[in-house]
Structure 1
């Protein structure tokens, strides 16, 4: 397993980490078994979040006795100082630890980022927790190119997590800037939320980009672990056959895959179209129905509110059938 420095944090981590979303489908014992295998095979980076229901708790149980084998990252969608301070304490309890190596601001919008960095914002709690030794470093995750670009200008941001895969490469220039600024780059959604079926090809594609510090595929069983390790450890250049397969995947998904570029906005009736597709993907591809519907319920305007005006489709650079996809999301989500 290749190891790298996670940007300016100075933490030494495995090139392949562990994405903690799918373990919501298994149990604490299954998670424990998986983490012990990871430790044996040299994977030391774990990503989870306050929002991933039981993920932190399962991981805390699973790390009992082997906590020193891992660099742990979690994240919170809290935007105020009070809420973030409370979430940090909850994360520490859930993870059964007295410190967390990396704590991240979870997917803020541009407006929410202002709140995070303002008076009594979440950043104040993160700074205080770092001073107290409860967390080691501070990062940010996002789905928006605009937020990614802004985050690179914020001195306190030590790492950035952003979707990067065969069909979502809109952040490639900014990923390169992460290297230039010594900001650790964490590639999430390596399989595009499950849309890319060939996991080995997807991971080979990502690891071919030397500006990616770590990639975090979600895993729930040992078979996935072994396959993913093999792909990430393969240092051979992508073959002509693999490059052709990559182009085929782009063509296949490029006509029917939301890259969350947000060019479709503003919706006439206020639907947050990329978020609808993001949450629906957790249900459609990960089979995490309850969690997906819970996140979907936070949206002020649901997919069913679509009036079929088609303005979003005129602006979509990928010519997605957005109205049709919103109708499907409304059916799947029940509203």
Structure 2
């Protein structure tokens, strides 16, 4: 397993982590089997957005039995009313639902208290201009939660939340289908037929800016909807007309700036095993450029996708990393100290580029790598 720091939360999490939806309807024996396999394989982080008391109890029992030190991301504002899940901004309801979560899990501290599902501007103000955010900050101060998160599908609202300085972790939907699309308040439009038939060119700038902002602010991203609801895995349903493998989709998300983990929604040991194949997959198996390059409807021409096809460099420059740090600096309009430090920590720098052009011949996205290396060397001074 590969572990990563979850931003400034203070915890290290497995790159492949678990969503909770796959445990729905499972018996406790089945849940223990799934959880036990995941933990034995190195998984140490689970997202628990569900408010269903039975599901919470099932997961609580599984966590207690496997005793693997799994860290929990529990949602604030996900409540159970009249026998069904609801999202609530009522402080009393949110408090009662979180009380229930901690009781059923048998935990005094939840590592990440995730403010549940905010996509709309009006809802953002309902959270941050009222006592709701104060509830989360008080719980953090008291040690009831380790850090504060927010889940969203809208990069504009997510960016506003990160800019408050109160959010340590962002749960966001990251996949290439969504990354080309403009922001919106209606999440269903992300997979609407008319959107999938549209033509797009390069990353949506709001999404790219969000990832760069999180990297600069040290806000860790954990990923939901990595497979775009399964659409990415089927050629006839994907907007690209080509199918990604689970490993390719996972690798795409895990190579975005600030992303620490993917919360994979697995409903069986076999599905957990399939997600975990990313950890041991070869570079060829992880390569998502074969799906994304050369498309008519969607093009990333000239934009570094961090796919790694530029390697090997005769001077051993990690070109994808240099481009990532360059893009982070350009998005900021300057060089943040954290980006400068990460760049300088590289074993080889852009100034060592001999302008041979071998990388450009291999790049499937027609990135002017030699020019990028000149730009990085000038910007970073080495």
**Pair in the same fold by TM > 0.5:** yes
> What aligned pairs does 1:1-335 form with structure 2 within 5 A after superposition?
1-51=1-51, 54-67=54-67, 69-77=69-77, 78-108=88-118, 109-119=120-130, 121-169=131-179, 170=204, 171-197=207-233, 198-234=245-281, 236=283, 242-247=288-293
Consecutive aligned runs of 4 or more in structure 1 exceeding 6 Å deviation = 237-240
Is the Cα contact below 8 Å between 1:162 and 1:186 reproduced in 2? yes
How many Å apart are 1:250 and its aligned residue? 9.7
- Please give the per-residue CA displacement for 1:1-36, whole angstroms capped at 9, x wherever unaligned: 111111111111111110111221423221111111
Point out where structure 2 has 5 or more consecutive residues left out of the alignment.
Answer: 78-87, 180-203, 234-244, 299-382
Alpha-carbon distance in 2 for matches of 1:73, 1:5: 15
Is the Cα contact below 8 Å between 2:113 and 2:147 reproduced in 1? yes
Alpha-carbon distance in 1 for matches of 2:246, 2:58: 25
Is the Cα contact below 8 Å between 1:84 and 1:126 reproduced in 2? no
- Please give the per-residue CA displacement for 1:177-201, whole angstroms capped at 9, x wherever unaligned: 2111100111110111122223222
SS for the counterpart of 2:230 is: coil
- Please give the per-residue CA displacement for 1:246-281, whole angstroms capped at 9, x wherever unaligned: 4599969xxxxxxxxxxxxxxxxxxxxxxxxxxxxx
Is the Cα contact below 8 Å between 1:84 and 1:125 reproduced in 2? no
SS for the counterpart of 1:29 is: helix
Alpha-carbon distance in 1 for matches of 2:116, 2:156: 15
**Two-structure CA RMSD over aligned residues (Å):** 2.5
Match of 2:305 in 1: none
How many Å apart are 1:202 and its aligned residue? 1.2
- Please give the per-residue CA displacement for 1:88-146, whole angstroms capped at 9, x wherever unaligned: 20110122222111111111222122122234x22222222223322111100011122
Going from structure 1 to structure 2, the CA distance change for 1:230 and 1:180 (only over 3 Å counts) comes to same
Task: Kindly tell me the number of residue pairs found equivalent between the two proteins.
Answer: 250
Going from structure 1 to structure 2, the CA distance change for 1:71 and 1:37 (only over 3 Å counts) comes to same
Going from structure 1 to structure 2, the CA distance change for 1:110 and 1:86 (only over 3 Å counts) comes to same
Is the Cα contact below 8 Å between 2:150 and 2:167 reproduced in 1? yes
How many Å apart are 1:156 and its aligned residue? 1.2
Alpha-carbon distance in 2 for matches of 1:178, 1:50: 26
- Please give the per-residue CA displacement for 1:295-335, whole angstroms capped at 9, x wherever unaligned: xxxxxxxxxxxxxxxxxxxxxxxxxxxxxxxxxxxxxxxxx
Going from structure 1 to structure 2, the CA distance change for 1:28 and 1:195 (only over 3 Å counts) comes to farther
How many Å apart are 1:220 and its aligned residue? 1.4
Is the Cα contact below 8 Å between 2:121 and 2:157 reproduced in 1? yes
**TM-score where L is the length of structure 1:** 0.68
How many Å apart are 1:238 and its aligned residue? 6.8
Moved more, 40-49 or 130-139: 130-139
SS for the counterpart of 1:167 is: helix
Alpha-carbon distance in 2 for matches of 1:225, 1:58: 18
How many Å apart are 1:161 and its aligned residue? 0.9
Going from structure 1 to structure 2, the CA distance change for 1:244 and 1:235 (only over 3 Å counts) comes to closer
**TM-score where L is the length of structure 2:** 0.60
Is the Cα contact below 8 Å between 1:49 and 1:56 reproduced in 2? no
Going from structure 1 to structure 2, the CA distance change for 1:250 and 1:235 (only over 3 Å counts) comes to farther
Point out where structure 1 has 5 or more consecutive residues left out of the alignment.
Answer: 253-335
Going from structure 1 to structure 2, the CA distance change for 1:239 and 1:89 (only over 3 Å counts) comes to closer
Is the Cα contact below 8 Å between 1:196 and 1:249 reproduced in 2? no
